[in-house]
Amino acid sequence: MAASCTMCCAISPARLRPEDQVKRPAIGECQRLRADHSTVISFQPPKTLSHAAMKNFLPSSLLALAALTLAAGPAAAERQPVLIELFASQNCNACPAAHRTLKAVQAEQGDNVMVLTWSVDYWDYLGTPDPMALPVASERQAAYADRLGVRAPYTPQSVYDGAKQCPATRRAAVDENIALRTAADRPGEVSVAVLPGNRFSLDGHTPAPAEVNLVEFLDAPANPTPMVHPVTRASTLGLWTGGHVSFSYDCEASCVAIVQAPNYGEVYATHRLK
Backbone angles phi, psi at 220, to 5 degrees: -60, 140
- Cis, bond preceding 167 (omega within 30 deg of 0): no
Triad 85, 88, 92: Cα angle to 5°: 160
Q: What confidence score (pLDDT) does residue 39 get?
A: 34
Give the count of alpha carbons within 13 A of 125, CB side only. Answer: 8
**Could you tell me which of 140, 153, 249 has the C-alpha nearest to residue 196?**
249
pLDDT, one tens digit for every residue, the chain (274 residues):
444 444 445 666 555 444 444 343 343 443 333 333 333 333 333 344 444 444 444 344 433 433 433 344 443 446 899 999 999 999 999 999 999 999 999 999 999 999 999 999 999 998 899 999 999 999 999 999 999 999 999 999 999 999 999 999 999 999 999 999 999 998 899 999 999 999 999 999 999 999 999 999 999 999 999 999 999 999 999 999 999 999 999 998 899 999 999 999 999 999 999 9
In this chain, the answer to whether the domains covering 81-183 and 186-220+232-272 adopt an identical fold is no
The CATH code belonging to domain 186-220+232-272 is 2.60.40
Q: What confidence score (pLDDT) does residue 171 get?
A: 98
Q: What is the domain partition of the chain in residue ranges? A: 81-183, 186-220+232-272
Beta bridge pairs of residue 189: 205
Instruction: Name 142's Cβ contacts closer than 8 Å, sequence gap at least 6.
Output: 15, 153
pTM: 0.75
Q: What confidence score (pLDDT) does residue 127 get?
A: 86
CATH topology of domain 81-183: Glutaredoxin (3.40.30)
Q: What confidence score (pLDDT) does residue 199 get?
A: 96
Q: What confidence score (pLDDT) does residue 252 get?
A: 84
To the nearest 10°, the Cα dihedral for 96, 97, 100, 102? -110
- Asked whether 19 and 180 are in contact (CB, 8 A), the reply is no
Instruction: State how far the Cα of 260 lies from the Cα of 138, in Å rounded to an integer.
Output: 18
Instruction: State how far the Cα of 179 lies from the Cα of 109, in Å rounded to an integer.
Output: 11
Cα 18 versus chain centre, distance? 32
